[in-house]
C-alpha cells in the first residue's frame, strides 16, 4: 500500500519524527523526498525520524548544512541527507553530481529542493513542513 497524500498535525518534534518513521517503512531504494519549509521548520527533525524508521542508529542524523551531503548507513537502506541551503541556485547544484545519489541504493532526503532546478527528480515524494503559531507543525506528504 502506498501513500498518495496525507496531512498530519504534529504537536511536537517527537510527533514529526514519528510521522517520518512511519513513512520510512514504505520507502525503497531510489526514493527521493523533497523537504520544503522555512528555516527551522523541522526538516532535519523529519529526517531523524526517517533514519530511525530505516533502522539507522539514533544520533546518526545531524544537519548537513556545512557538508551538503551526509550519508547514514547501518539500516535497511542507506540514507543520504542533502541540504542545499548554502547553494546559490540550480547552476551550483548541477555541478555536484547529485544524480548519483538519486539513482543510488538508498533513500535521499533533500532540504531546500527548489535549488535543484532541472535536477529535481520526477516521481519524488514531496514533504511540506509548516510551523504553526502554537509550536506544532503541519506536515503534508504526497507523491505524484
Residue 60 vs residues 36, 57, 79, 133: alpha-carbon distances, Å: 21, 6, 10, 30
CATH number of the structural domain spanning residue 49: 3.40.50.300
> How do residues 96-105 score in pLDDT, each as one tens digit?
888 888 988 9
Query: In this model, does residue 4 exceed pLDDT 60?
Result: no
Number of domains comprising the chain: 1
What's the CA gap between 59 and 88, in Å, rounded?
A: 29
Domain that holds residue 26: 5-142
Average confidence (pLDDT) over 120-140: 94
Residue 97's CB: how many other CB atoms inside 10 A?
Answer: 9
> How do residues 6-35 score in pLDDT, each as one tens digit?
899 999 999 999 999 999 999 999 999 999
Instruction: Give SS3 for 79.
Output: strand
Biggest distance spanned by C-alpha atoms of the chain: 40
- Under 8 Å between Cβ of 140 and 128: yes
> How do residues 69-82 score in pLDDT, each as one tens digit?
888 898 999 999 99
Amino acid at each position: 500500500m502506498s501513500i498518495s497524500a496525507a496531512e498530519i498535525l504534529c504537536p511536537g518534534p517527537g510527533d514529526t519524527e514519528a510521522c517520518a518513521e512511519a513513512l520510512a517503512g514504505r520507502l525503497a531504494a531510489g526514493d527521493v523526498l523533497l523537504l520544503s519549509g522555512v528555516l527551522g521548520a523541522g526538516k532535519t527533525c523529519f529526517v531523524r525520524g526517517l533514519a530511525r524508521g530505516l533502522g539507522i542508529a539514533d544520533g546518526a542524523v545531524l544537519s548537513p548544512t556545512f557538508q551538503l551531503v551526509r550519508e547514514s548507513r547501518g539500516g535497511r537502506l542507506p540514507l543520504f541527507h542533502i541540504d542545499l541551503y548554502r547553494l546559490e541556485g540550480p547552476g551550483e547544484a548541477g555541478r555536484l553530481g547529485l544524480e548519483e545519489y538519486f539513482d543510488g541504493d538508498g533513500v535521499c532526503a533533500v532540504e531546500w529542493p527548489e535549488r535543484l532546478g532541472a535536477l529535481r527528480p520526477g516521481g519524488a515524494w514531496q514533504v511540506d513542513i509548516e510551523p504553526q503559531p502554537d509550536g506544532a507543525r503541519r506536515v503534508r506528504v504526497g507523491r505524484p
